[in-house]
Structure 1
Amino acid sequence: MLSKERLLELGIEDEKAEKILEEVNKDYVPNYRYKEVKDNLDSLNEDIKKRDKQIEGLKKHTGNKEELEAEINKLKEENKKDREAAEGKLSAIRKDNAITEYLYGQKVNNISVVRKLLDADNIKYEDNKLIGIDEQLKTLKEDETLKSLFKETKMTGANPRIPGDNPEKPKGLFDVVIGREVDNKDFNPWG
């Protein structure tokens, strides 16, 4: 994910970095948020199909008032249970997404591993706030064996030089191969 720190590392000025991030993030929707909305839409579409079938079923009971009322009450109870189940599922998805978003904000190196280490049952999600996650993360950060999950690690390594680069840089493998090709036209580095 693109961050202001990364843009500053690339040599972009502070004001321009903010404008770039604002423009990039304007239409960006995180994957977990998209999944939440899609699951909600799928659930609503299933409910609509189920209700359409229920209406068709009620048309069969047009002659008997008691049977019709009993069927309506039965369907009301079923719909109430289905609604509660769907709300519970959506609430669990929102909690899950909030935890993921929180871990992104904490600059966790491996979110999937940290999620498995967290006790989700002891984390509450109320009024768009997570309760109980800070204590668990603090405990994980204090564990010496898990420190690497929370540190910002920067990958380093040698980059091969491209001909025409600054000649004061030390030569890499690429430069040696190119140099041999220039010196010996019949040289084949691949065998």
Structure 2
Amino acid sequence: MNREELKALGLSDEQIDKVMAAHGKVVNDTKKKADEVDGLKTQIDDYKKQLKDRDNQLKDLGDKAKGNEDLTAEIDRLKQANKDTQTEYEGKLQKQVFDHKLENTLAGAKVKNTKALRALLDMDTIKLDGDKLLGLDDQLKALQESDGYLFEEVKQEPAKPSFSTGQHQKPSGSAPSTLLDALSQKFTETKN
């Protein structure tokens, strides 16, 4: 959304400045988190490449060490250590993706304090399925009802007064409420 669109909605310059400032903060926070996730993904890709290189080196070394039982046992131990490390890094990546998606979803739900709200969530029932968090929506709805203070209030825009361009007349004998009514009444009286 840009300034022209907000102006077309009838917002004042001051209101537009406030909306743009709030929107800019949200965009910058989201961009910062996305950059962090991208950096972590790059690191994990590097670790995966390093593990693959080590596995290849161990395989080559194992082929050269045929017949030496101690060396073969050490190579097998190192291969298992590499697999364990890879599993650990993949688990960390999944947790980071889950946490990032959860934080973005909570921010979209207008949660005031995500840390406090997370303490109330049953995290065991929330699962990441692709890019969706299953089991979160029902919990958020229940918390909005029971602990609404954790969420920002959705403010309704007050209704804008509508002005009629047509003429209207007060019944004769009633007091005019505005200058326009008084002039209109006076004009009608002089005309008759």
> Cα 1:7–1:125, aligned 2, differ >3 Å: closer, same or farther?
farther
> Cα 1:69–1:100, aligned 2, differ >3 Å: closer, same or farther?
same
Task: Choose 30-39 or 98-107, whichever is displaced more.
Answer: 30-39
Give yes or no for contact 2:55–2:79 (8 Å, CA) kept in 1: no
The amino acid of 1:80's aligned partner reads K
| Residue 91 of structure 1: aligned partner | 94
Q: Which runs of 5+ in 1 are unaligned?
A: 155-191
Listed as ranges, the matches of 1:120-139 within 5 Å are: 120-139=123-142
Structure with a larger share of its residues in helix: 2
| Residue 42 of structure 1: aligned partner | 43
Deviations 1:40-73 (A, max 9, x none): 3334445666777888899998974244543333
| Residue 188 of structure 1: aligned partner | none
Percent same amino acid among aligned pairs? 29
- Structure 2 distance, partners of 1:62, 1:26, is 54
> Cα 1:142–1:48, aligned 2, differ >3 Å: closer, same or farther?
same
- Structure 1 distance, partners of 2:34, 2:6, is 31
Q: 1:113 and 2:116 equivalent?
A: yes
Give yes or no for contact 2:121–2:139 (8 Å, CA) kept in 1: yes
Q: 1:65 and 2:79 equivalent?
A: no
The amino acid of 1:31's aligned partner reads K
| Residue 162 of structure 2: aligned partner | none
Larger radius of gyration: 2
- Structure 2 distance, partners of 1:84, 1:49, is 14
User: In the alignment, which of 1, 8, 14 is matched to residue 13 of structure 1?
Assistant: 8
- Structure 1 distance, partners of 2:48, 2:6, is 52
RMSD: 4.1
